[in-house]
Structure 1
Amino acid sequence: MISTPEGYVAQTSTSLAACLAKVPQLAERLGGKPDAWRVEEVGDGNLNLVFKVYGPQGAMAVKQALPYVRLVGESWPLPLSRAHYEHMALSEHERLTGRLVPKIYHYDETLALIAMELLEPHIIMRHGMIGGIEYPQFAADISTFMARSLFFTSDLALSADRKKAMIGAFSGNTALCKITEDLIFTDPYRVADLNRWTKPYLDPYAARWREDDDLKIAVSRLKLKFMSSAEAMLHGDLHTGSVMLTTEDTRVIDPEFAFMGPMGFDVGAVIANFLINYFSQDGHEGK
Structure 2
Amino acid sequence: MASNYKVLAEDAQFQIELTQAGGKLVVADFTSARCGPCQRIAPVFEEMARKFPNAVFLKIDVNQCQGAAASQGVTATPTFIFYRNKTKLDSLQGADPETLEGRIVQHYGDGEGEEAEDTGVPGHIDLIPMINKAGCECLNESDDHPFTQALSSAGGYLESDTDEQLILYLSFSQAVKLHSMRIKGPSDNGPKTLKLFINQPHTIDFDTAESANPVQEITLTTKDLEGELIPLKFVKLQNVMNLTVFVKDNQTGADTTNISYIQVIGSPVQTTKMSDFKRVTGKKGESH
The bucket for the TM-score relative to the shorter chain is: under 0.3
Structure with higher RCO (Cα < 8 A, 6+ apart): 2
Larger radius of gyration between Structure 1 and Structure 2: 2
User: Is the strand fraction higher in 1 or 2?
Assistant: 2
Normalising to structure 2: TM-score of the pair?
0.27
